[in-house]
Structure 1
Amino acid sequence: MIYILKFIAAFLLPPGLFVLLGIILSVYLWRQRKRFGRFAFSLSAFLTLLLYFSSTLLGAKLFGQPLENRYSQQQPAAAQVIVVLGGGSVGSVPDGAERGGLMSAGAARLLTAARLAKQHSLPVLISGGQVFSDGASEALVAERILLQLGLPQEQIIVETQARTTKENAAYSAALCRERGYKNVLLLTSALHMPRSMQFFERYLGGQGIKVAAYPCDYTLNPQGKFNPRWLVPQLQAFDITCMALHEYVGMAGAFLQR
């Protein structure tokens, strides 16, 4: 019974609701094709199918899995520093006695970085500035959280200027060069890792600095077997599809900037 209720609920809330409305519109346009023409029906049907596929786990896996599986987690034994990329911040939200918090991706990255830093006694370089005027500096918020988690100040390095992945790489390269780091462990979300490695290998690799990947914040189960729920529209799946497409566009842009 619970699965039937979940299936019904999927089409009462976005994006399933929009898929349902698209189906209704397409059926109407098909029945009125003499009045509106076949093109109107074809366009409506195509957009509905596109929205439906993009909002299923099947579509999310098709676009997201190749990105998340591109790199495996490398052992941090040879690393001299962990470079963790900001994943977004919220400006004035309360965080205990402080203000400003990290969004889910940034929090997941920081938690992984804190664990590795404590396990391997490595410094953490946090890269991320204030992207929007009503936001907060990702690196400064992350620094405060790391201190609250018990990481000593001398183990934390902040880079507060970067607003893009390209700038993350450029400013991090400058700091690594200044401090003499030759082996870097790059930590970011698995979806974001391929594009990040493009820039970090360009900016750091060009200076003789080795970059190893440590993806985290996975969104998809790489070993999951097909399940009928993969075909049900879900907001989470649509979000993953959109993030994956954003990464592909960014990777194409990074390639063209070479």
Structure 2
Amino acid sequence: MGGGTIFFVASKVLGLLARPETWLFLALVIALRRLAQGRVGAARRWLGGAALAVLLLGAWPVGDLVLGPLEARYPPRPALSRVDGIIVLSGAEEAELSRLWGMPELNGAGERLFAGLALARQFPDARVVVTGGSGRLGGARSTEAEVAAAVLTDAGLERSRLVLETRSRNTWENAIFSRPLAKPRPGETWVLVTSAWHMPRAMGVFCAAGWPVVPYPVDQRSGMLGLRPEWELWEHGDALRRGVKEWVGLLAYGLSGRTAECGVPPG
């Protein structure tokens, strides 16, 4: 098993441990264990803690606390006067659902593709790199880049402008596998399109890969903090999961030398 595969598997395990629902499930398991041991008081404390966590998560967008700093790192819609290439990171595509239904299926990160398409229309001479294989441990029979290409071409983008990278399983591989295909030349302006909460790690990875890019963050998720009048357990939990996972990813990529700091080239 190569180093890239070990890192990929380890990142999946860390991602699972970072999910809030994992910790809630463990709290319930511990409570059941305490009940089986006859330790009713301890079981009540674990159950009470889990119930309080669910209440706070449903009523208060705690995910904004971890997503907000990530999304504020780079301003949206940077001023661009020249663009030679556009890189769209995968993550918006549901590859297996697309294969099952015979048509492109997207998730909540679809703004990545819409923004990439808008930039491609604004700069008609720019090449468009769509990068993404499958992030599943067992792989997949279709790739995210292929689904993205179908969406973009259906929307009118010429297939000849697209460069597809279909091997990558994570952000690091997005950069190192796409660069030989794109062949960026010195002095060119390349724009990186991905979700705002993912942009700090993506920028660090592309800098470490020696490919300076202009950040174009989309798909912002954080909003105003405070109690909300509606019950949004799933929405708040999803934001918390994304934020914690991304901070863990930043730490793991930093410790493994897969990120670097570099200046943002002018657009």
Bucket of the pairwise TM-score, normalised by the shorter protein: 0.7 to 0.9
The corresponding residue for 1:80 is 84
Match of 1:126, SS state, is: strand
Match of 1:229, SS state, is: coil
Letter in 1 for 2:53: L
The corresponding residue for 1:214 is 216
Match of 1:197, SS state, is: helix
Distance change in 2, residues 1:170/1:105 (3 Å): farther
Shift of 1:146: 1.2
Shift of 1:70: 1.5
**Higher helix share goes to which structure?**
1
The corresponding residue for 1:9 is none
Among 48, 59, 67, the residue aligned to 1:64: 67
In the TM superposition, what are the counterparts of 1:43-62 in structure 2 within 5 Å?
43-62=46-65
**TM-score when normalising by structure 1:** 0.74
Give per-residue Cα distances to partners, 1:127-184, cap 9 Å, x unaligned: 00134444521111111221111111222111111111111111123334x2426322
Mark the runs of 5 or more structure 2 residues left unpaired by the alignment. Answer: 1-20, 258-267
Distance change in 2, residues 1:237/1:186 (3 Å): same
Distance change in 2, residues 1:127/1:234 (3 Å): same
Q: Are the equivalent residues in 1 in contact too, given 2:59–2:227 (CA < 8 A)?
A: no
Distance change in 2, residues 1:173/1:189 (3 Å): same
Q: Determine whether 1:167 maps to 2:173.
A: yes
Shift of 1:186: 0.7
Mark the runs of 5 or more structure 1 residues left unpaired by the alignment. Answer: 1-14
Match of 1:58, SS state, is: coil
Shift of 1:253: 0.5
Q: Determine whether 1:191 maps to 2:197.
A: yes
In the TM superposition, what are the counterparts of 1:76-225 in structure 2 within 5 Å?
76-87=80-91, 88-93=93-98, 99-121=102-124, 122-132=126-136, 133-176=139-182, 178-180=183-185, 182-204=188-210, 209-221=211-223, 224=224
Distance change in 2, residues 1:234/1:135 (3 Å): farther
Give per-residue Cα distances to partners, 1:186-218, cap 9 Å, x unaligned: 1011121122112111113xxxx4211111111
Match of 1:146, SS state, is: helix
Shift of 1:246: 1.0
Q: Are the equivalent residues in 1 in contact too, given 2:104–2:150 (CA < 8 A)?
A: no
Shift of 1:229: 2.5
Distance change in 2, residues 1:137/1:66 (3 Å): same
The corresponding residue for 1:4 is none
Q: Are the equivalent residues in 2 in contact too, given 1:91–1:101 (CA < 8 A)?
A: no
**What is the rounded CA distance, in whole Å, between the counterparts of 1:255 and 1:225 in structure 2?**
29
Q: Are the equivalent residues in 2 in contact too, given 1:92–1:135 (CA < 8 A)?
A: no
In the TM superposition, what are the counterparts of 1:218-233 in structure 2 within 5 Å?
218-221=220-223, 224=224, 226-229=226-229, 232-233=231-232
Shift of 1:66: 1.3
Letter in 1 for 2:73: R
**What is the rounded CA distance, in whole Å, between the counterparts of 2:112 and 2:52 in structure 1?**
34
**Percent identity for Structure 1 against Structure 2:** 25
Letter in 2 for 1:169: A
**What is the rounded CA distance, in whole Å, between the counterparts of 1:117 and 1:243 in structure 2?**
28
Shift of 1:49: 2.9
Match of 1:76, SS state, is: coil
What value does the CA root-mean-square deviation take over the aligned residues? 3.1
Shift of 1:233: 4.3
Q: Are the equivalent residues in 2 in contact too, given 1:169–1:199 (CA < 8 A)?
A: yes
